Structure 1
Amino acid sequence: MNTRLVIIVGMVTVFAGVGIAYGINQYDYYQDQKQYEEWRDIRESILSEIRESKNRNQTIQTTDIGSMSDEERCAWTFDNSMNEFVREQEKYNDSRDTVSKPLSEDQIVSTSIQFAKWRGDGCAFSIPEWAHLSIYENWVWENIAPTFKIKGLHSRMVVNEPIFITIEKIGYHMCDSWDARIVDFKDNATIWKKTYHSGCVIADHTTPKLFQFTISNEIHPVVISTLGNYTFQIEIGHIFLKKDFTVIEYFEDIVMYEEWDK
């Protein structure tokens, strides 16, 4: 009797173990399939955006790469690299046997093997100069072109208080020259001006980073002693930025600067 009970318990244990293993296996399979579907959707979404960004019918037509300008060569190389990247990614969408995490928008150019030659040619450093030549121009401007933002200057500033202005850049270098000024709305007169000509050497990297350009600081601040309306303007890296602001006598309430800008 005891032997039979032991055998029954053993069989139940074995079947339970098999059932648990089967359940775990099924769960893993379900998770893999779910991940595959999610990644396929992400990949297709990215590829659809890239395809839609082809806002021109043809790229540079030439067989003599040596006769191209640097800007034409970068655009031509980029277009061919992107076409190759799209073809390669479409293979993943057509294969259920492959579960491969898709690259995000900011990784496509900086890490994919299809863009190795484009990166090696240093084209990342001159995007604003050749983007208009690419059939993927819209995508270039939206995803890999450098971006700039004015920091430290708010919609209301206090008279005779020092103003510290910086420009934040997400890009591939900080070798941009710039020309900044503040203009009085009343008579369109320039009341402050500063120019910087870059002489630096671009480092050999192709990953976007955050840089800061100091326009005015504690040593050389901007101080406006007249109430009124003004605009800050700067040309930097082929980009023109501006921000309007008002110089007031004092803040009536203690309010965070960000709230004034809403």
Structure 2
Amino acid sequence: MDVAVVTGASSGIGQSAALRIARRGTGVILTYSSNADGAGDTVARIERQGGTAVALRLDLADTAGFPAFVAQVRSALRDTFERDSFDHLVNNAGFAGMAMIEDTREEDFDRLTRGLFKGPFFLTQALLPLLADGGAVVNLTSNSTLPQVTAPGYSVYAALKGAVVVLTRYMAKEFSARGIRVNSVAPGATVTRFADDAFAKNPEIIPEMAKSFALGRVGEPDDIGMVVAMLVSEEGRWITGQDIEVSGGQNL
């Protein structure tokens, strides 16, 4: 059985990706930060569809905790999957932050940098010895990195996601010697718990926002999760080094 590590899979895009990957017969080691109930729900849903999953807590912004996390991954691989390696890594976990440039505090800048760039960089580095040759990595970015998208207040978030786009290309080049493919997926606005559950708290913004999508609606987690699952599967075997916008034509 192939095994995938999916970070931030207690809700939203990460949960969808974990479910879609599991539906293809792949075991899943998923992570969560504070939403233990959501992680338990993801595991239960995978098990109900006949799959196997393990949930581990991970603070992506705390690189000092990565060695202990890697040890937990090793144990889960051995005890649950009878493996000493895994095949796919989905770097989905992250969080948002919004402030105009003149109002951005250094501590908030540093917090976002740890969670959105430093964390995924060093987590991938830490897990690389366990990632099997011929595997795949998918990094979640954002269509906020694209030239036609400039949402005031998201300068730091977008710049860091842009850094991940560049990092994806370099990973694709450096990991290619081992046959490991690396791509990124850039969602548009998607109804998740993003930005402190903004969509649930302000549902009235959804119809107005939908007008900016060529396909006439705001994204759903499965719109993105299905693409992530494709990229780590056989169907994505000849795709690497790409940042793929999955946004229903937002701002087209």
Shorter-chain TM-score range: under 0.3
Bigger radius of gyration among the two: 1
Instruction: Give TM-score scaled by structure 1 length.
Output: 0.21
Q: Which protein has the bigger helix share?
A: 2
Answer 1 or 2: higher relative contact order, Cα 8 Å, separation at least 6: 2
Instruction: Give TM-score scaled by structure 2 length.
Output: 0.22
